[in-house]
Chain A
């Protein structure tokens, strides 16, 4: 059916299936190369951020500050948060988006390929700059960097932090411009917007948030820079300034940031579950529109991070109302995913294991999220380990597990190889147990009275902290099967074929990996992306991976 090179095309090179490895280290405008560049870079930073987490958890195995100095502990926690957000999850989402969007909408490439490459190449320098702050004393005020503290400690490191965030923030915005334009303007003939895969809908919602909220962070950082370097007093009360203004500007971005971090993986899950359940997604429109609802509502909930700050009661209540509301579109998705699996034919491969683990963990994070929305309860648990537990459930249990579901699902497409299922399964088991062991006890720690961002804590909290530390070590170990599996697959993996999962979305209708221009001919779309169950008599020539009992 697909005949290679029938059509003359000035962009083709001699062998379109072969990319040289050097392509991945250069300024290359192919969205697939850029996607892989983003993914590999972000994975590297996952390990760096994870390293700082292991330092922190080792310190927290004992109540005293006896492993690293408290100053360095604060540097570690600042870098951990900053790296995991800005150099792991956000760029990984951009990586998936870059790789998949043109393929999913049937386009040759993104709308602005050179801008796309520029966007990527801002990320590694931004990351390296951030890490260089260790040489002058990394910032110590947490990834939130509230003034006046951030104006008083580790000033050089703080300014480096600001610069690196401005750089990666710009990268994020430029990426979003490409994603939106490509999805809205370059869909293949026949793909009206309600035939677009749900990954694209989520990226549309996430990109809108990136465009609208990241600049507010830039404004906050610009003013903070002036205070740091030029001696102005925007956030210094001694000069008439107001530290709470920083908080408003900061959270105007940073709350939508969490949706920017979860939406791509909501989208990935919405694509993974139907394929491996052999059923259409349940409630396509609900999932699509609820993504937009989350995007919109996500812009008006920010001050729930400031319930105990310099905010009047009426403001706190307003934000409680909007925050409670955002649970509704989110719940719709969770129920829709469950309904998709229900009655299906589940292949319990690595992608599906991570997808189910995602639903399991995310719902926990969602429940504690609704608790945090409640103003009186939040007053007790704000800035405690309860919050740390909550956001790690949604970010690790949610974003990261969703990311791995997408990773295992699209690995064959991207590399042309199958990943060893036993290693994938081992990765899942270690990760799932590790994450629950690390983060579940944190809720109780917060309720009992343990505040966050501390290297020394009260003796009564030690046993729960030790559980968390063991979980963290397990999480570290869990990366071993992943890394081994990647190398094994790349060098010795079984060839995947075009469509090992028998999926219906466009990216599976071309080779693995796809040719440089994605499709040998422009696809014309006649059906929906999740129309499973309509061809009951097909004799499949591609072998599905048989599920083995756990």
Chain B
């Protein structure tokens, strides 16, 4: 059968495109998407997987074809054809990638904007300020009231968002734990609890070195830098438990610096708030809901100690079972 090479090339091209399109949508490489923003990011990742698969198949295919078809035959000492270039072809393979990256850049901008990346609230830095709570060198500090800070680097309210922020949680990062501070009930916890479907804002500070707050299932991450407040905003759309991972080398136990995000129904969330709120009893220290019951708790306890918040052991046990 003598099929003209043009037809073969066309068929291969179509096959490559179809395979790429299919694989781009069905690669199954990402974990579950637990927010609308995560789904948007998965959308652009799928497009890039399609393009990447196509390019991968094209180049590997060419290499394999050359390996087979253009091998020097034994005894052939002649040179190959003296082809030095082909201007239209070179223009084509300059222009197409240029257009592709341009479109990807626009698409990326759209997605980033929809994630709240350009929220002026979250793209302004009032500047450096010294951290107040743990450092002992007070000499050169600038006294700024952190609680009144409204501006920070990170991701803010999505551009299309109608809802205001429903829940603000202060996050403290330290070697090697995450401490969450809920202003409403004055709860201090080693876990993050949020109600599903509500917009949550995290205002984050680091006590010692640079850490990073990463929620893989939400595809969001922001470095937590000593001397600044940084911000993340997200809206969970699935109830469940999701890991919180520190994503900036912060010391030997960086690998153990983890916590858990609990996305709960509004009722369960209210219950959790109630169960963990401060009991008014002559200025007692706050109860702390259980830090992650794992090997990492050994790191959390000393830090909670230094914050002056260590509960009685019985209280800790009580909290464990409550949860």
**A residues bordering B, Cβ < 8 Å?**
65, 69-71, 73-74, 140-142, 146, 148-149, 152-153, 233, 237-244, 277-286, 308-314, 316-317, 320-321, 324-325, 327-328, 331-332, 334-336, 338-339, 341-348, 356, 359-360, 363-364, 367-368, 370-371, 373-377, 379-380, 382-384, 443-444, 447-449, 451-458, 530-536, 538-540, 544, 546-547
Contact = CB atoms under 8 A, between A and B. Distances in A.
A328 B247 contact: no
Contacts of A310: 125, 153, 223, 225, 228, 230
A345 B80 contact: yes
B79 A279 contact: yes
B193 interface: no
Given A237-B130, A345-B70, A546-B74, A284 B85 contact: yes
* 7 A-B pairs with the lowest CB-CB distances in the bound complex, closest first: A237-B227, A533-B82, A454-B255, A449-B216, A345-B72, A380-B219, A313-B123
A166 B211 CA distance: 27
Given A152-B208, A240-B128, A327 B82 contact: no
B303 to A, nearest CB: 16
Contacts of B130: 237-240
B59 A334 contact: yes
A286 B232 CA distance: 44
B82 A280 contact: yes
Contact of B115 (A153, A336, A359, A376): A376
B80 A279 contact: yes
A328 B44 contact: no
A380 B155 CA distance: 13
B79 A532 contact: yes
B55 interface: yes
Nearest to B98: A328
A325 B101 contact: yes
Contact of A370 (B48, B80, B245, B251): B48
Contacts of B51: 367, 370
A533 to B, nearest CB: 3
Contacts of B115: 376, 379
B112 A348 contact: no
B63 interface: yes
A324 B105 contact: yes
Nearest to A150: B209
A282 B101 contact: no
Given A149-B209, A363-B56, A376-B108, A455 B71 contact: no
A539 B291 CA distance: 81
A238 B207 CA distance: 10
8 contacts: A140-B251, A286-B94, A310-B230, A359-B59, A376-B115, A376-B117, A383-B249, A539-B77
Given A282-B84, A533-B82, A380 B248 contact: no
Contact of B78 (A278, A311, A531): A278
Among A342, A368, A454, A530, the most chain B Cβ lie within 10 Å of the Cβ of A454
Contact of B124 (A242, A312, A535): A312
